[in-house]
Amino acid sequence: MDVPIDFVVRSASVTDPDTLRTYVERRLDFALRRFEHRSHRVMVRLGDINGPRRGVDSRCSITLELRDGRRIDVEGITAWPFASITLAAKRLNEGLRRELERAQCSARGRRQSSFQGLAEK
């Protein structure tokens, strides 16, 4: 995947951030493969919700900047970092697909209304 990924880990419990980074790259590759030409930059933040209390809640938030300037923010909260990454990547794929469908439908509506205006003249 040719989209730059900024990866931030804010957790004392993560022992191997390289493994997490590799996993994030793989999950984002699956999630963004169809939309890579529309993606500009990805920011992934991984943290422990409970902080120093060493709880089991892990949060993964992903921000995707599209080439046209729009942003899509998603979040996944589970007990384990890998599951949080998977959930957030899945939500990113769904959100991006919906956003692009919405943009496509509004573009169709604008084209149809301009065609109707020409037909009425």
The first and second tokens of residue 81, run together, are 């970092």
Alpha helices in the chain (DSSP H): 17-32, 81-120
The domain segmentation of the chain, as residue ranges, is: 5-120
Task: Give me the CATH topology for the region 5-120.
Answer: Double Stranded RNA Binding Domain (3.30.160)
Q: pTM of the entire structure?
A: 0.79
The first and second tokens of residue 107, run together, are 């573009």
Q: Please, what are the averages of pLDDT over each run of 10 residues along the chain (121 residues)? A: 77 75 92 89 88 76 92 93 94 92 76 56 54
